[in-house]
Structure 1
Amino acid sequence: MTERELPLGRSAVNRAAHRRRDTQWLADAWKRAQVLVVDADGRALVDTSTRPYELILVAADAAPDGDRLFLGEDDEQVYFAVRGELPAETGGPEPHTVRAVGASLGARDAGLFVEAVALANWHDNIAYDPVTGAPTQARDGGWVRVSEGGAQIFPRTDPAMIVLVHDGVAGPAGRALLGRQAEWPPGRYSTLAGFVEPGESAEAAVVREVAEETGVAVTDVRYVGSQPWPFPASLMLGFSALADPAQPIRRVDEELEDARWFTRDEIRAQRDANRVMPMTTSIAYYLISNWLDGII
């Protein structure tokens, strides 16, 4: 079987970082740009009548005022994003979050949407210098903020790990360890995840988080892939790991409401019936689906 693509790991636009400090080029590029408007809830207008879905981009002269966030360029177009209000009209394209529609967008639009949301979220949270408290202003096409004292502040990303723990057994009887948070819809279980702590490798975080959440010791930690998760500013690092299902499950840190082992047949039945699986945009869905198909 063919390995799936990570929905938010796709991109077809060159970020063209060398353009960011060229103020004249940015000013000229804005005049011919296509602009993605993202509202305060991280939504953009999306046409869901097409396959794949399509973002609604507007000309620069129709974009709201705000920091002009340079997203990149391709052979045909230059792209910016602006935080602003979305039209209130109904009957056409409607507001959606990248979490809801990311997996249904094409590579270009998925990449633009997640980049715009991540960058806009960062700007919302860094209006003041975290050291001096001085106001900051956007520079370099939105990729730097500068305080009154000249200090430069760059966007940050918080690394987090997410892991599909399984028993290494092939076929329908193979089992995976999934957990459940209390606030999720009834019956939903997913892969285990947590933030990488200071001074810690991602692999060490996998071992620690699984032990903290379930009491299970894992081995053979293997990197699978990553994707941004801008809610508000994470980078999800996906792994697989092996464990013995005979180990007792103990919810050490009480972060999970429940954790248990599921067979491939049990999980596949849930997926095929469109029941309580993680959202298709998530790396959890990617890890589980690839494990079901014997790819990891």
Structure 2
Amino acid sequence: MLKYSEMLLDRASNQRKSPEWLASQKNNNSRWVLTHTDQNYFNKANNAPLFLTLEAVQLLDLEAAVFLGLDENNDNTPYFALDLTHVDEALVAAFLVEGEFGDLRKVAVILDNQSASLLALARGLGFWHRSHGFCGRCGTVNKSATAGHARLCTNPDCQHQTFPRTDPAVIMIVRKQFPDGIERCLLGRQVEWPEGVYSTLAGFVDPGETLETAVAREVMEESGISVTNVQYLASQPWPFPSSIMLGFIADASSDDIQVDKHEIDDARWFSRAEIQAFGDWGDDAPGFKVPRRDSISGYLIDHWVNLGE
């Protein structure tokens, strides 16, 4: 199961529209997920996620909470998210005794997938609320609506609703059989990545474009390689800040790499044997390294490697 893809809470899409029902869920059984500037809240001692009780968050503005869902496997426990980015520092400091705010991606691999998925959702919705403070039609201030799953323009003559944004991006493992009989895959790297890290190519889908066309265009733009036989494999929520990653495998019909330095830093063909000798992201040892293990990129690379077994 891909990381961040196991958000099993019942989102209660119909019930959450009722203010009375929503208020009833802010009870002593509820659990509260804190975020701050795109970071999640963890135990200082062991990096375990901290889900707080109603009592622990009473001094915060609970009207600003985003309803995440009901845990049907645990007495329908309601989960809410609260973003503290713009909360008074003195209030935030009270939560920094036991816990701390940190980068979810740095600890995701040690978390169970349900917790990682829940934290990712809270992070993504917090970012969306902060970046959509004003109406895109008339410029008036927006307010949270529908339990945090919409933003409503406060101008009575407009009342335009905005919904959480998800930007589709394609990510692909490209393969080719070479004259020496060895099949290789195409990986690239960004200049800002740690030295030696190579990953699958990826890019956003343009308006009016099919996913298959986006795969071919992105591969051509970044590496100069043309592809055919584009096949969908899997998807992954990616709220960093607001994407859905759509994973594909494709066959290359050319092999002469022409890197566009405005797109990526480098691209190369790798055999299965070479990839199996890769180190991990964060390793100090020199040499090639795979991307972070929480990414669908690792899944796509593993999928291709396993096809050769």
Same fold (TM over 0.5): yes
2:21 corresponds to 1:13:
no
Q: Compared with structure 1, are the counterparts of its residues 173 and 101 closer, same or farther at alpha carbon in structure 2 (3 Å cutoff)? A: farther
Which secondary structure does the structure 2 equivalent of 1:208 belong to?
helix
Aligned to 1:37: 34
Summarize deviations over 1:27-73 as a string: whole Å, max 9, x none. Answer: 11012310001111322215774xxx742100123123361100000
CA-based RMSD of the aligned residues comes to 2.3
Change in 2 beyond 3 A, CA 1:177/1:106: same
Secondary structure in structure 1 of the residue aligned to 2:222: helix
- Structure-2-length-normalised TM-score: 0.85
**Offset at residue 186 of structure 1 (A):** 0.9
Q: Which residue of 2 aligns with 1:115?
A: 121
Cα offset, 1:203, TM superposition: 1.1
* Residue 55 (structure 2) aligned to one of 54, 61, 71: 61
Q: 1:1-296 alignment to 2 at 5 Å?
A: 5-32=1-28, 33-46=30-43, 49=46, 54-63=48-57, 64-65=60-61, 67-75=64-72, 76=75, 77-84=77-84, 85=92, 87-89=95-97, 94-149=100-155, 150-167=159-176, 173-244=182-253, 247-252=255-260, 254-271=262-279, 275=283, 276-294=289-307
CA pair 284-34 structure 1, distance change in 2 beyond 3 A: same
- Kindly indicate whether the alpha-carbon contact (under 8 Å) linking 2:41 and 2:99 is maintained by their aligned counterparts in 1: no
Identity of aligned residues (%): 38
Q: Measure, in 2, the Cα distance between the counterparts of 1:43 and 1:189.
A: 27
1: CA distance between counterparts of 2:256 and 2:242? 34
2-side partners of 1:94 and 1:289: how far apart? 34
Letter in 2 for 1:79: Y
Distance, in Å, in 1 between the alignment partners of 2:68 and 2:280 is 37
Going from structure 1 to structure 2, the CA distance change for 1:106 and 1:166 (only over 3 Å counts) comes to: same
Aligned residues: 284
Letter in 1 for 2:291: P
Alignment check: 8 A CA contact 1:278 1:285 kept: yes
Note closer, same or farther for the CA distance 1:47–1:144 as it changes in structure 2 (3 Å cut). same
Is 2:38–2:126's contact at 8 Å kept on the other side of the alignment? no
Shift of 1:98: 2.5
* Structure 2 counterpart SS, 1:35: strand
**Structure 1 gaps, min length 5:** none
Q: Tell me how far 1:10 sits from its aligned partner.
A: 1.5
CA contact (8 A) 1:45 1:96 kept: yes
In structure 2, the gaps of 5 or more residues are 85-91, 284-288
Higher relative contact order (CA 8 A, sep 6+): 1
Check 1:96–1:286 CA distance in 2 against 1; reply closer, same or farther (3 A cut): farther
Q: Could you tell me whether the CA contact under 8 Å between 1:100 and 1:281 is conserved in 2?
A: no
Counterparts of 1:41 and 1:73 in 2: how far apart (Å)? 23
Distance 1:273 1:104, change over 3 A: closer
Q: What CA distance in whole angstroms lies between the structure 2 residues aligned with 1:253 and 1:130?
A: 34
User: How far did residue 283 of structure 1 move?
Assistant: 0.9
SS in structure 1 of the partner of residue 115 of structure 2:
helix
Question: What's the CA shift for 1:273?
Answer: 9.5
Contact 2:40/2:119, CA 8 A, preserved across alignment: no
Q: CA deviation at 1:168?
A: 5.8
Separation in 2, partners of 1:273, 1:154? 35
Q: Which moved more, 1:96-105 or 1:202-211?
A: 96-105
Q: Measure, in 1, the Cα distance between the counterparts of 2:13 and 2:266.
A: 45
